[in-house]
Amino acid sequence: MTKLTLAAGIALMMTLSACAIAPPPQIGPDGQPIPTAYRITPMDQAQIPNRVLTQINLLRSQQGMQPLTLNPQLAAAAMAHSRDMSAQNRAWHFGSDGSSPLDRVRRQGYAGSLLGEDISETYENEIATLNAWMQTRDTRDLIMDPAARELGMGWFQEPSNKIWWTMLIGA
């Protein structure tokens, strides 16, 4: 009987601890919440491309535009570039070997037309990164390009939790 009571007590404590109120976010000197680092889990890795695609297609549908589809060659090029940006420790559009986005998608066998590449260096998740891209004209124009048909999303997360994001869009 004591084992059953002990097990019930532990289960109750675990249930109640899950209901605990999260501490309020810390506020920085600018009055904004201090961001917390996002950690990509193995489950997230499988879901990130579809979450980004869903959000982009929602934005595009609100403008009467065609939805995008995921493209594995664009995704492979985006993943490779994210890792390379981390190795270079800078967010830019050229690979450590001097390659351009067009060079990288061709290496992966992409036969379509590359429209462009959006990149980011952050500690935030993919939706916060997409939101930041939508706030800037050049990156937003690529996402909302009427000619766009395909998307490849890539990332590399360092042990410090810094994430290097790359999105390639093709037609």
| Environment class of 31 (CB within 10 Å of its CB; exposed 0-12, middle 13-18, buried 19+) | exposed
Q: Which CATH number fits the domain that encloses residue 158?
A: 3.40.33.10
49 occurs within a structural domain: yes
What pLDDT does residue 130 have? 96
Q: Check whether 64 has a pLDDT greater than 70.
A: yes
Stretch 56-76: mean pLDDT: 98
Environment class of 69 (CB within 10 Å of its CB; exposed 0-12, middle 13-18, buried 19+): exposed
- pLDDT above 90 as % of the chain: 70
Cβ–Cβ < 8 Å for 57, 49: no
Q: What's the pLDDT tens digit per position in 81-137?
A: 999 999 999 898 999 999 999 999 999 999 999 999 999 999 899 999 999 999 999
Do the Cβ atoms of 149 and 69 come closer than 8 Å? yes
Amino acid at 25: P
Q: What is the pTM of this model?
A: 0.79
In a domain, 6, yes or no: no
Residue 23 belongs to some domain of the structure:
no
Looking at residue 26, its pLDDT comes to 67
Would 46 be classed as within a structural domain? Answer: yes
- Asked if residue 15 belongs to a domain, the reply is no
Q: pLDDT tier at 10 (50, 70, 90 boundaries)?
A: very low
**Does 129 reside within a domain?**
yes
Residue with the two structure tokens 């590399």: 156
